[in-house]
A and B are shown apart, each in its own frame.
Chain A
Amino acid sequence: MTAALTRPVRPRRRHLRAALLVLPAVIPVAFVVIGGVGTTLLQSLGLMPLVGSAELSTAAFNDSDELLTSALLSLSIAVVSTAIAAVIGFFTAVLIISGNWGGRIVGALGAAAVTVPHLVGAATVGLLLSDSGVLARLFGVAPDAWPALVAGPTWFAVIAEYAWKESAFIALIIVGTLATRITSYDETAAVLGAHRFARLRLVLFPLAAPSLLVASAIAFAYTLGSYEVAWMLGQTYPEPLSVMALRLFNSASLTARPEAAAIGVITVVLTAVVVAAAMLGLRRMRAWR
């Protein structure tokens, strides 16, 4: 009976078994990611026109002023909202890990926020922050005296929605990777004479830093590529990259399709640069470990 277990399995067969297990996931992912981005790239270069013959051209990238404005706007929104989310997320994680009843309440509310679809988040933040929104009524401010938080020049409501959702995401990622290990390290530091803030600075933060970085990079990438929040709560001009791409995609003009694809390509490149920087940072963190 045990012969089946001890019989040596040839390495090649083990490789094959592992490959067979992973293929059902790899094939659709490769199809959508490589096929999707590849086609977008071809479209942006004029190689897959809706009508007419294919011809290599960089015309879609020519309107550089417009593209630069949108890219800077998208990056600013992503940087600000991710920074806020990272700070709030880290302190929320510390609160949750501290393990008392307050931490449990915050943890439950954070988990609830993570499950809310971004579109619903945008709808409810709109109801909360608009000039006739719930907050304006709670503070008794008249609509014309209320600052333009929704669809205003500060992109306040967009940033608030991203910061709200992503802070919960970042907090839960940190809690998930640290919760089991952190108490014993915290106790060790305490019995070595380290006070609360020294422990936060010298133990908790460095231990949480890798997962904070990874979670923030994911949040940043999401924010940069997300469409519905900026579309619902943002100004009509200037537009973030994703909103401009979708408007061009849906427009009747023939030249618009390659331009929409070009914005897609630019967004992919921006995301790749930021993620690569984050991975470099992570590697340095590990080396310094």
Chain B
Amino acid sequence: MTPTPTATATATATATEPVAADAAPSAITLTGVTKTYSAALPAALQGVNLDILPGTSTAIVGPSGSGKSTILRIIAGLEDANGGRVRLAGRDVTALLPEERGIAMVFQRPLLFPHLTVLDNVAFADRAAGLSRAQARDRAREHLELVHMAEFGGRSPHSLSGGQQQRVAVARALAAKPSVLLLDEPFSALDPGLKDDMHAMIAEIRQAVNPTILFVTHDRDEASAMAERIVVLENGQLLQHDSVDHVFHRPASLAVARLLGGKNAFAGTIENGVHRSALGDVALDGDVASGPATLVFRHEAVTSTLRQPTSGADADALATRHADAAACQRFGPRELHGVVTSTVQRGPRREVIVQVADAEVYTEAAPGHPLSVGDLVTVSLPCEALWAVPAS
């Protein structure tokens, strides 16, 4: 028996559930895809199942070596899987060559063909499909407009900046009329400001032509900026496939929470809907099963404020009430008392580590509370931020 909180169970179930027969076929379906590069190495992918709906944008995240690029290359047909099937729009393409799959892919490097102008690069797919040069160029101009590069058509690729080259690479991929657009860490080599421009461009493209997008990134911010769904991979195994909000705040496992940068995890047990750990007793919402479980919450969702000298007794009283019965919502946010042990400024935000009883809690300083080491603070845990994952 696993003490998985039921809410998590439902979330993952809906994500991997096969689509109903009358619905439009999934844009991408992977069933049991396995990839081994050599007998000496562990499998790059172990029986991955994945279902991507048409018109959605999905990010694949995971540590390096987790197999995230391998998934893309197998869907593209650039690698053959050792086992499993790849379906695109309901058709089995496992045995087809890359050029027969109707996909397009953008790599980390723009890889614009150096012997062609920007316009002819975008016209490439149509030329390869046998269209005349004039026809192909007409269509290419539309796609260059889509990425705001229309005036650069006559230039040679190496005269463009890295960001401009990647815009052209995206236009070239779209001009191939792909049923699925695959992006392999497309913007990771660009400056932060340029990345934001690219995310805006992808948003525009999605509004204009609504392609199905599957992309790999190691940047959590990029994943949430460009996708509405996230696939989490580790060691070739799919850990979770869910909405952006759920993977961050309702992770399926401690591993997912850690991979997405969650810093707070407290091992303990659940009894009657109350989680008990070094942190103290914390009531959880929803119908949570009893047994060993780890409490997780995002540090961004938890604020520390300077403690008012009078509030101590109230908070202690709250803590007692929390211990009594379940359902966080009945009591309002759980408040803990502690001492600041270190602070790190991250841009406009201030990360504060607070010692609470025997535990260290990662929090953020509330606006207007310039906390420093040794300050006595109140940490407030909103009910929505709290989540329990199965003990590892």
Q: Do A and B bind each other?
A: yes
* CB of A236, distance to nearest CB on chain B (Å): 47
Would you call B314 an interface residue if the criterion is a C-beta within 8 Å of the partner chain's C-beta atoms?
Answer: no
- A203 interface residue (CB < 8 Å to B): yes
For the complex, what is the distance from the CA of A188 to the CA of B122, rounded to whole Å? 12
A111 partner residues in chain B, CB cutoff 8 A: none
Residue of B nearest to A205 (CB): B115
Per-position 1/0 for A192-215, Cβ under 8 A of B: 111110110011001101000000
In the complex the two chains form, is A185's CB within 8 Å of B111's CB? yes
- CB-based contact A195/B128 at 8 Å: yes
> Could you give, for residues 258-289 of chain A, a 1 whenever the CB lies within 8 Å of some chain B CB and a 0 otherwise?
00000000000000000000000000000011
> Given known contacts A184-B111, A203-B113, is B105 in contact with A193 (CB within 8 Å)?
no
Number of interface residues of B (CB under 8 A): 27
Closest Cβ of chain B to A212, distance in Å, is 13
- C-alpha spacing A288/B120, complex, angstroms: 12
B129 contacts A by Cβ under 8 Å? yes
Contacts of A184 in B (CB 8 A): 107, 109, 111
Within 8 Å CB of A109, what residues of B?
none
A194 close to B156 (CB less than 8 A): no
Q: When A190-B99, A203-B113, A207-B115 are in contact, do A198 and B104 touch as well, CB less than 8 Å? A: no
**Chain A residues numbered 123-157 whose CB sits less than 8 Å from any CB in chain B:** none
| Residues in A neighbouring B231, C-beta threshold 8 A | none
Whether A193 contacts B129 in the complex (CB less than 8 A), given A187-B98, A202-B124, comes out as: yes
Report if A189 contacts B (CB, 8 A).
yes
User: Interface residues of A: mostly helix, strand, loop or mixed?
Assistant: helix
Instruction: Tell which of A185, A190, A198, A209 touches B98, judged by Cβ atoms closer than 8 Å.
Output: A190
B102 interface neighbour in A187, A193, A195, A206, Cβ under 8 Å = A193
Selected from B103, B109, B116, B127, the residue in CB contact (under 8 A) with A191 is B103
Interface string of A159-178 (1 = CB under 8 A from B): 00000000000000000000
B114 touches A188 (CB 8 A): no
CA distance A195 to B96 in the complex (A): 12
Given that A184-B109, A203-B113 are known contacts, is A194 also in contact with B124, CB under 8 Å in the complex? yes
Residues A198 and B128 in contact in the complex (CB < 8 Å), given A187-B98, A191-B104: yes
**Is the C-beta of B288 less than 8 angstroms from some C-beta in chain A?**
no
Q: Are B111's CB and A202's CB within 8 A?
A: no
Q: Answer yes or no: B125 CB below 8 A from chain A CBs.
A: yes
Whole-angstrom distance from the CB of B93 to the nearest CB of chain A?
13
Q: When the two chains form the complex, which single residue of A191, A202, A209, A289 contacts B105, counting CB atoms closer than 8 Å?
A: A191
Shortest A53–chain B CB gap in Å is: 59
Considering only residues 96-142 of chain B, those with a C-beta below 8 Å from chain A are 97-99, 102-105, 107, 109, 111, 113-116, 124-125, 127-129
Min CB distance, A121 to chain B, in Å? 34
Residues 150-174 of B at the A interface (beta carbon under 8 Å): 156, 172-173
Is B176 part of the contact surface with A, judged by Cβ < 8 Å? yes
Give the nearest-CB partner of A287 in chain B.
B156
Q: How many angstroms from the CA of A196 to the CA of B99 in the assembled complex?
A: 9
- Nearest chain B CB to A99's CB is how many angstroms away? 13
Task: Point out the residues of chain A lying under 8 angstroms from B24, CB to CB.
Answer: none
Q: Tell me which of A189, A196, A199, A207 contacts B114 (CB under 8 A).
A: A207
Task: Determine if B76 is an interface residue (Cβ-Cβ < 8 Å).
Answer: yes
Residues of A within 8 A of B109 (CB): 184
User: Is the CB–CB distance between A194 and B125 below 8 Å?
Assistant: yes
A206 engages B111 (CB within 8 Å): no
Interface residues of B in 341-371 (CB under 8 A from A): none
Contact between B111 and A188, CB atoms less than 8 A apart: yes
Question: Quick one: closest A residue to B175, CB to CB?
Answer: A192
In contact, A190 and B97 (Cβ under 8 angstroms) = yes
User: Across the two chains, which residue of chain A brings its CB closest to B128?
Assistant: A194
Q: A193 to B113, Cβ gap below 8 A? A: no
When distances are taken between beta carbons in the complex, the residues of chain A under 8 Å from B98 are 187, 190-191
User: From A184, which residue of chain B is reached at the shortest CB distance?
Assistant: B111
Is A289 a contact partner of B156 (Cβ separation < 8 A)?
yes
- Decide if B189 is an interface residue (CB 8 Å cutoff): no
- State whether B104 touches A189 (Cβ < 8 A): no
- Report the separation of the CA atoms of residues A192 and B107 in the bound assembly, to the nearest whole angstrom: 12
Nearest to B76 among chain A residues (CB) is A191
CA distance A195 to B99 in the complex (A): 6
List the B side residues contacting A202 at CB < 8 Å: 124, 127-128
What would be 27 A-B contacts, judged by CB atoms less than 8 Å apart?
A184-B107, A184-B111, A185-B111, A187-B98, A188-B111, A188-B113, A189-B113, A190-B78, A190-B98, A191-B77, A191-B99, A191-B104, A191-B173, A191-B182, A192-B173, A193-B99, A193-B102, A193-B125, A193-B129, A193-B176, A194-B124, A198-B127, A199-B128, A202-B128, A206-B115, A209-B115, A289-B156
Which residues in A have some Cβ–Cβ distance to B below 8 Å?
A: 184-185, 187-196, 198-199, 202-203, 206-207, 209, 288-289
Interface residues of B (CB under 8 A from A): 76-78, 97-99, 102-105, 107, 109, 111, 113-116, 124-125, 127-129, 156, 172-173, 176, 182
Closest 5 CB pairs of A and B: A194-B128, A191-B105, A190-B98, A198-B128, A206-B115
